[in-house]
């Protein structure tokens, strides 16, 4: 009996030593969401005002384009768009109706991000917020495509700090007294969890150490209740310097590496959901939507990590971490500490110990997903096939700008082209290409394609027409 009591005592002691780890995402269905903006028109696409441009210019009230965005998002593993909403009578309200209708046809979901941006002309009083919420709860949330979790509609809030926690307690008591909806707050003040049901950070690009910053938040949120939702943010970068705001900054994309870093950091926190900032916030340069510069690189990365998240994260191993001694609490601010730099500064490529082959230089591919092999040094050229990460290629030449490399493909007798961004080699060590090099013939059945994307709007003359563009689905 005495031995049994000792064993039980040791067991209880071990349990008390175990830290309060965040609950694993397996307890809830892992969702991948993306912030979506439906306020663009033909006047938006100005290369002097945006850090990049979409492959297809569009207006946000074009149902065909919204349907196309949903097709792309679903393929990347995204479950729902969270659309910025500025209230009844605003174009974002009319366009959100289109998003819901198109989502229903595609078995996709959409929710509202109740936007209290200081520049918004709406919600300037508590009563205005109450009326807008009542309208929302009586209309959009009843749509079959509105995002629900465990039967409850989900509502995100941006900049809810415009009102105090006590104000929000009054607001919720009037519009959702029984907590029949899931309210997700935003920002760096977790005390709003007294009223809200979960929390997220809209941006994480300002953090010097993304993993360290995100890992602060699960316990901060869950201390208000184990049932609270922790929604971890991932983002590809940031460049809002063309807005000329005082707090604008650049967080370099590093050809997708920063996006991968934020995904790794987010998953290390064992989130309930992951949210992407953003699908198409072009003004702030946080978009993963296919662009002129990056193609669909960010959709491929999203597809890779969303699959990893939904497959189930490994069980966290508890450790007996010593209790840290109290130190001065650092003041957290959304103001970025990174100095703005030139956009699209390429990360220096690691020099491969390349050696001369019979006629060329041996190098390896470094890519998330697959790298397209093209018939000419252009994104408009025919796709001949794909290469995967780690594959070895033989380099023969480069284009004048060293942006494209000529390789032997599919055999030693033929030549094709790949982007230099994804090849570990010194492009400048290669000669400029011989235009008469033999090129293989594209195989029409090699790559599955979706139906042609609708040409909603044509670009201004400085960008090639988007009409022939097709979204290429990775294998």
| 182 close to 111: Cβ distance less than 8 angstroms | no
The count of residues in the chain is: 475
| 387 close to 418: Cβ distance less than 8 angstroms | yes
Structure tokens, 172: 């919720």
| 474 close to 369: Cβ distance less than 8 angstroms | yes
CA pair distance 172, 166, nearest whole angstrom: 10
CA pair distance 32, 143, nearest whole angstrom: 20
Phi then psi for residue 122, to 5 deg, are -100, 170
Calculate helix-pair angle for 126-138, 165-175, nearest 10 degrees: 40
Q: What are the pLDDT tens digits along the chain (475 aa)? A: 444 444 444 444 333 333 344 444 446 789 999 999 999 988 889 888 999 999 888 999 999 999 999 999 999 999 999 999 998 888 999 999 999 999 999 999 999 999 987 766 666 788 989 999 999 999 999 999 999 999 999 999 999 999 999 999 999 999 999 999 999 999 999 999 999 999 999 999 999 999 999 999 999 999 999 999 999 999 999 999 998 888 899 999 999 999 999 999 999 999 999 999 999 999 999 999 999 999 999 999 999 999 999 998 887 654 444 444 444 433 333 333 333 333 323 333 322 233 233 468 888 888 655 688 888 898 878 777 777 767 788 888 999 888 899 998 877 778 888 999 888 888 788 899 876 555 554 433 333 333 334 333 433 322 222 333 333 333 3
Give the chain's count of helices (H) and strands (E): 9, 18
CA pair distance 314, 296, nearest whole angstrom: 29
- Partner residues linked to 238 by β-bridges: 251
What is the DSSP secondary structure assignment for residue 473, as one 8-state letter? P
CA pair distance 462, 465, nearest whole angstrom: 9
> How do strand 109-115 and strand 198-200 relate by DSSP bridges?
unpaired
């Amino acid at each position: 009996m005495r031995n049994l009591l000792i064993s039980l005592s040791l067991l209880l002691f071990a349990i008390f030593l175990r830290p309060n780890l965040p609950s694993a995402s397996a307890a809830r269905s892992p969702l991948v969401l993306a912030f979506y903006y439906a306020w663009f028109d033909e006047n938006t696409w100005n290369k002097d005002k945006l850090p990049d441009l979409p492959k297809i210019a569009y207006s946000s009230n074009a149902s065909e384009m919204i349907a196309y965005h949903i097709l792309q998002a679903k393929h990347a593993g995204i479950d729902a768009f969270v659309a910025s909403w500025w209230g009844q009578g605003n174009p974002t309200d009319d366009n959100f109706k289109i998003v819901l209708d198109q989502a229903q046809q595609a078995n996709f979901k959409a929710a509202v991000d109740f936007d209290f941006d200081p520049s918004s002309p709406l919600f300037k009083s508590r009563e205005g917020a109450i009326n807008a919420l009542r309208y929302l709860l009586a209309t959009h949330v009843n749509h079959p495509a509105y995002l629900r979790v465990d039967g409850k509609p989900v509502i995100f809030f941006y900049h809810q700090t415009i009102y105090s926690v006590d104000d929000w307690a009054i607001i919720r008591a009037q519009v959702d007294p029984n907590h029949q909806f899931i309210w997700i707050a935003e920002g760096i003040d977790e005390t709003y969890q007294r009223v809200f049901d979960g929390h997220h950070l809209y941006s994480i690009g300002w953090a010097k150490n993304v993993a360290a910053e995100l890992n602060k938040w699960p316990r901060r949120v869950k201390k208000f209740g184990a049932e609270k939702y922790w929604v971890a943010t991932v983002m590809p970068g940031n460049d809002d310097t063309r807005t000329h705001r005082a707090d604008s900054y650049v967080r370099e994309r590093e050809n997708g590496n920063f996006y991968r870093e934020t995904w790794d950091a987010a998953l290390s926190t064992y989130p309930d959901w992951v949210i992407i900032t953003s699908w198409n916030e072009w003004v702030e340069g946080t978009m993963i939507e296919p662009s002129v510069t990056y193609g669909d690189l960010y959709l491929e990365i999203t597809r890779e990590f969303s699959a990893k998240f939904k497959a189930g994260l490994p069980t966290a191993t508890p450790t007996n971490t010593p209790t840290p001694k109290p130190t001065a609490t650092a003041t957290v601010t959304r103001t970025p500490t990174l100095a703005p730099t030139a956009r699209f500064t390429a990360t220096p490529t690691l020099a491969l110990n390349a050696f001369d082959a019979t006629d060329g230089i041996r190098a390896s591919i470094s890519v998330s997903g697959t790298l397209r092999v093209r018939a000419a040094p252009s994104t408009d050229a025919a796709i001949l096939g794909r290469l995967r990460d780690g594959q070895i290629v033989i380099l023969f030449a480069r284009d004048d700008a060293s942006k494209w490399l000529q390789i032997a493909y599919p055999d030693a007798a033929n030549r094709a082209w790949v982007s230099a961004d994804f090849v570990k080699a010194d492009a400048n060590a290669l000669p400029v290409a011989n235009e008469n090099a033999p090129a293989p013939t594209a195989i029409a059945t090699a790559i599955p394609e979706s139906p042609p994307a609708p040409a909603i709007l044509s670009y201004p003359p400085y960008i090639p027409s988007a009409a022939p563009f097709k979204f290429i689905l990775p294998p």
